Amino acid sequence: MSSRDVIVGVDVGGTFTDLFLLDPANGRFQTAKVPSRRGDESQGFLNGLKALGGAAAIHSIVHGTTVGTNTLLERRGPKIGVITTRGFRDVLEMRRRDRRRTWGLWGDFTPIADRDMRVEVDERTLADGFIRTPLDPQEVRAAAKHLLDQGAESIAITFINAYANANNERRALVAVREVWPNEFIIASHEVLSEIREFERSSTAAINAYLQPVVASYIGKLETALTEQKFSGQLHIVQSNGGIMSTATARKLPARTALSGPAAGVVAGAAIAKASGFDNLITCDLGGTSFDVSVIAGGRVSLAAQTTIDFGLVIRTPMIEITTIGAGGGSIASVDRGGLLQVGPESAGSVPGPACYGQGNTRPTLTDAQVALGRINATRPFGGELKSLDVEAAKRAIVTHVGEPLGLDATAAAAAIVQVADARMAGAIRLVSIERGHDPARFVAMPFGGGGALHVSALIRQIGLKCALVPRFPGITSALGCVLADLRHDMVQTLNVMLDGVDAAALERRMQAAGREASAVIAGSGIAIERIDVQYELDMHYLGQTHTIAVPLPVAYQGDNLGVSEATVRSAFETAYLGSFSRLLPGLAMRIVSLRVAAIGRRPVFDFAVFAPSASASLEKARLGSRPVWFDGGWRDTPVWARLELPVDARIAGPAVLEQPDATTVVEPGLAGRIDKLGNLIVEPA
């Protein structure tokens, strides 16, 4: 694709599928929101494209998907087989010897490959890479045939110490391919060439579990797109926020686990940057959870792994998203010790909050917002319901919170919102202050349906600089699909001491990994402006088992990156002091692994297309007023149509700003203004 091609971002979420179309040639954009169909996610996708006028005129589609995550959570993937080192078939089931909760000993665990679908073969590699027992291809073929007979649709090969030497795994791959009827074969070193057998095996097995599902999903989409005369390319967003080709997605579907949310963070970063903010915290308030992610100095934070559910670990670089169980559907209750709790139990979207009138009678956070007049009960967003039942919300609040605490409906609702605000503030504190970031330099960016209701409180409680409510908060993830760069990550375990390190050899490895990752980007067929390669080492003092991420400030000068023992040492010490208060002089340092990311930069998006039209005016935007509860009293509060506000409009709090997919509450003492790109900035008045 070229920078002038029509591109569409499609984010299939749990409730809605959002689409964002951009035609860079004339700056035209278009959005669509259609219901998602759980279990057949391609339906929402295709319906959404229809709403945009069909696929024929589109050159490129980038897709954020939850198919992989949902398949795992609901365990609706296929039967898979696993071939392991003799003595180790139970690694997947034994996990890291953990349990579900600190307190309480109940509950069990079902691995994604049953014990009779995991077969051992004779082979063994030692920690130093020495192959102590070579592989017998005949035995591997027999194991694969057995698993096939037992109904396996895909297969993972997970050998001990394959990170140190993948030769046995490679030979096993060859042997399995000779008998395996499809492309769904993966070896652990292909998904992650990193030490720790459970995490690597789990990632490989999950990958095998998702391969047939994701491949069939992509296949279905591609067939339907072809029928719709789509002649461009389909791409998938990865958990690291970069996009990949569908070929890579079929091979490494474990990398799609956080596809949708990652796209949202990417969009957040781009929107903030265009408005002149480099430090932000994205806040996504959904029905059951509140997800936050930090972008500091324009860089998204990456995490090394995530746990999808107890015992289901995916280890691959992904955007770090911190989640707490507090969403609009979170249920408020008073525990037997008399303490008010909001969440983690949730009414979800079905039956949903009490005000939905769909059978739930326990109060949720949304009910409290409705009772306080913050959400417009006559125009709920999403478009499914005609109106909200305010009285049902109040009844639920009085019965379950008001009476136990001796509060009336309004005071109880205010208490629920306050406790929820505090939990959200806690999550933000966790990713900002507790990582050494000064909140006064950060802006909060709410997206998703409900985040903008809470930004005023978050600014106040945490001392954030301001909040930036994007022009279209409800379609942020779809927008992120359009904006995302290409990205390919690689990890290699090195395990070498820094003292006397062979810097030339390290340089060669980095260059080779950089070239390999860049080749994946270059081969994806997507037009890019340039490829950036980032190099990072995982390091520690010898004896520590955890590592810290050490970004290397290196760049090509001619043919050389300029890696030296001194640059690595200084980079390590800088990173270490960023995390801990004391260096340990005199102790040896070790380089555990090398992480390389190749990033294919996409053309910069011009957010001016979102600017309010010249005809926007305060008069058009004024919607009247209604009573809203603030700081212990009802205030007659002006209500504005947010999208009708002109550039530089300034609205003093208290105020409520409404738009089809979000409501922003501006508390007294704060004010909102519209910037040149149509963003709403809420800041101290």
Partner 1 sequence: MTLDPVTLAVLNGRLVQIADEMDATLYRSAFNPIIAEAHDACHGLYHAETGATLVQGTSGLPIFVGAMAFAVKAVIDKVANDGHLETGDTYIFNDPYDGGTHLNDFRLIRPLMRKGRVFAWIASVGHWLDIGGNVPGNYNPKATESFQEGVRIPPVKLIRAGSIQQDIVDILAANSRVPQSNWGDLNGQINALDLGERRLHTLLDEYGDDTITAALAALSSRAEALMRANIAALPDGTYTCDDFLDNDGITDVPLRIALDLTIAGETMRLDFSRSAPPCDGPLNIARSTAIACCYVALKHIFIDVPANAGCLAPIKFDIPDTTLLAVSAPRPVAGYTETILRVIDVIFGAFAKVAPERSQGSPFATINALSLAGWREHRRRWIMFCFFGGGLGGNPESDGLNHSNNPISTATIPPVEILESLYPVMFTQWALRPDSGGPGHNRGGLGAIYEIEALAEDGADVFLIGERGKFPPFGVNGGGPAALNRFIYETDQGEETPPLISKVTDIRIRHGQKVRLETPGGGGFGDPATREPSRVVRDVQLGYISRDAARRDYKVVLREDGSLDADATAKARAGTPA
**Nearer CB in complex with partner 1: 335/619:** 335
Residue choice 35, 137, 382, 426 for contact with partner 1 (CB under 8 A):
426
Q: Shortest approach of partner 1 to residue 432 CB, angstroms? A: 13
**Nearer CB in complex with partner 1: 29/109:** 109
Q: Does 548 bind partner 1 (CB under 8 A)?
A: yes
Q: Does 437 bind partner 1 (CB under 8 A)?
A: no
Q: Shortest approach of partner 1 to residue 464 CB, angstroms? A: 15
Q: Does 148 bind partner 1 (CB under 8 A)?
A: no
Residue choice 10, 243, 419, 677 for contact with partner 1 (CB under 8 A):
419
Look at residue 42 and give its three-state secondary structure.
Answer: helix
Rounded Cα–Cα distance for residues 64 and 383 (Å)? 23
Residues within window 323-382 making contact with partner 1, judged by CB under 8 A: 334-341
Closest by CA to 35, choosing from 23, 24, 45, 25, is 45
Residue choice 587, 608, 618, 685 for contact with partner 1 (CB under 8 A):
587
Q: Does 89 bind partner 1 (CB under 8 A)?
A: yes
From 357-365, 418-426, 475-483, 630-638, give the range in contact with partner 1 by CB under 8 A.
418-426
* Whether the Cβ atoms of residue 647 and residue 675 lie closer than 8 Å to each other: yes
**Nearer CB in complex with partner 1: 26/545:** 545
Q: Shortest approach of partner 1 to residue 249 CB, angstroms? A: 28
**Nearer CB in complex with partner 1: 124/251:** 124
Query: Which tokens is 552 given?
Result: 């290397």
Q: Shortest approach of partner 1 to residue 344 CB, angstroms? A: 13
Q: Shortest approach of partner 1 to residue 84 CB, angstroms? A: 10
Q: Does 107 bind partner 1 (CB under 8 A)?
A: yes
Name the helix (H) or strand (E) containing 270.
helix 259-274
Rounded Cα–Cα distance for residues 79 and 156 (Å)? 12
Residue choice 196, 220, 460, 569 for contact with partner 1 (CB under 8 A):
196
Q: 10 Å Cβ neighbour count for 377?
A: 17
* Whether the Cβ atoms of residue 43 and residue 98 lie closer than 8 Å to each other: no
Q: Shortest approach of partner 1 to residue 62 CB, angstroms? A: 35
Residues 6+ apart with CB under 8 A from 651: 638, 640, 645, 657, 666, 671, 672, 673
Residue whose token pair is 């002038």: 4
Residue choice 308, 422, 647, 652 for contact with partner 1 (CB under 8 A):
422
DSSP letter at 398 equals I
Q: Shortest approach of partner 1 to residue 678 CB, angstroms? A: 35
Q: Does 91 bind partner 1 (CB under 8 A)?
A: yes
Residue choice 35, 70, 114, 573 for contact with partner 1 (CB under 8 A):
114
Residues within window 485-544 making contact with partner 1, judged by CB under 8 A: 495, 541, 543-544
Segment 505-512 long-range contacts (CB within 8 Å, at least 24 positions apart): 506/563, 506/568, 506/591, 506/594, 507/560, 507/561, 507/562, 507/563, 509/594, 510/535, 510/554, 510/561, 510/563, 510/594, 510/596, 511/561
Rounded Cα–Cα distance for residues 454 and 292 (Å)? 13
**Nearer CB in complex with partner 1: 163/607:** 163
CA end-to-end distance (rounded Å), the chain = 45
Closest by CA to 486, choosing from 398, 363, 600, 586, is 600
From 82-90, 386-394, 561-569, 606-614, give the range in contact with partner 1 by CB under 8 A.
82-90
Q: Shortest approach of partner 1 to residue 352 CB, angstroms? A: 24
Q: Does 108 bind partner 1 (CB under 8 A)?
A: yes
Torsion of CA 385, 386, 391, 393, to 10 degrees: 20
Rounded Cα–Cα distance for residues 24 and 2 (Å)? 10
In DSSP terms, which residues pair with 81 in a beta bridge?
155
Residue choice 28, 50, 54, 90 for contact with partner 1 (CB under 8 A):
90
DSSP letter at 90 equals T
* Whether the Cβ atoms of residue 542 and residue 591 lie closer than 8 Å to each other: no
Residue choice 497, 584, 604, 685 for contact with partner 1 (CB under 8 A):
584
Q: Does 631 bind partner 1 (CB under 8 A)?
A: no
Residues within window 275-314 making contact with partner 1, judged by CB under 8 A: none
Number of residues that bind partner 1 (CB under 8 A): 68
Rounded Cα–Cα distance for residues 479 and 639 (Å)? 27
Give the binding site for partner 1 (CB under 8 A): 87-91, 93-109, 114-116, 124, 126-127, 132, 160-161, 163, 195-199, 334-341, 405, 415, 418-419, 422-423, 426, 429-430, 434, 495, 541, 543-546, 548, 579-582, 584, 587
